[in-house]
Structure 1
């Protein structure tokens, strides 16, 4: 009789507990889609909140109007100068030729890695200032945003490469960035906004539109017009369409 009772125990547990476990598993599979939906909904809500916070912060740090130049300071201003190629470099050299060597120092010249002529012109300028080559400047090379004749399919990779390379400018954390139109200054200005967004430092950005732009802005100018601190043009006709711009006559 005792053996018969023992033999019945497994059947008893099988009948009493296995259906409950199966029911538990069935409920788990039934609830899984709802839990997955909740997690997806929560993740989407978190992303939306982060995006909203980022957009609000970006709006807060964007210049509302072309800000006035700051009061003259006796402390040196670490200056980053973006040199393009050809006409961009020629105009930039003319713009910065009369900069005070002690006030705007050290100077970092940002040049595309495939541009050898701009480096030669930058070194010549530094040597012409006092008859000897200054040591208070640096040459920084970054990938070019887009090469002439480059296929459109490879442009996204070049943009990412240029953006990552532009982070080099933060190693010296400049106080001022001066640019005048080369495509590489777009990635540099994007990187320069990172310390501003994080509340670390406000890197001032000054953009000077090319002398050749009389009635319309360049592509780079149109992209950077809303975000730079000072946007200088060299023709008064542009003020009608771009009221944030500053006209101080011909600069080159």
Structure 2
């Protein structure tokens, strides 16, 4: 139990709570727009940026963040080019991210172990700089979502109708995708690139089963996310388990229990 009071655990808890807040705030709009896989895409591109950061000896998360934002612009451009097949943009950018990451891995064989920690998460290694970056991103996401929640809501359900109503859909699409890139790039050190989409989607999927309104689904998804982060970190810390994997398995367990409970009430 002493681990729960250590400095590195407190930093991990702070970082986890911040991502636990921002991921579902963005994830709710991704799920409603059927863009759940965009998290995986941006995570793979971010890993390529992290690898480059290690190679040129620049703060890896900063380079990963730049890569993710650039990829978000690419996704939006391709989404417009392939309106009928919008999912192609995600597949193309993901392929490019994986390809670039693999090349950078081979160029920097000496730091492969460090990059691997970003694949599976290394929340216990968060330092003060990481917390500042995560906190800044959390602040930006909360402000943007608060200001444009109604516009994002309309965009998520009917983009064409939103455009007819005079909303700047191109700008809103780009803003939402960039916000996703910021969240994903800062979350990979906490849960890992392979698991980051779980924080974006599973809390939302659970909340949509029981929420009675859009606002309540946002609140519930954040509560579910934060609960999984806190319990996951405590369980992982006490029993020496992988924090990212523990958090995600807790989220899946909560989803299953909700499905079972809802089926029980409906029969």
Normalized per residue, which structure has more strand? 1
With CA pairs under 8 Å and 6+ residues apart, which has the higher RCO, 1 or 2? 2
TM-score (norm 2): 0.25
Normalising by the residue count of structure 1, what TM-score does the alignment of the two structures yield? Answer: 0.26
Larger Rg: 1
Hey, which of these two has a bigger chunk of helix by percent? 2
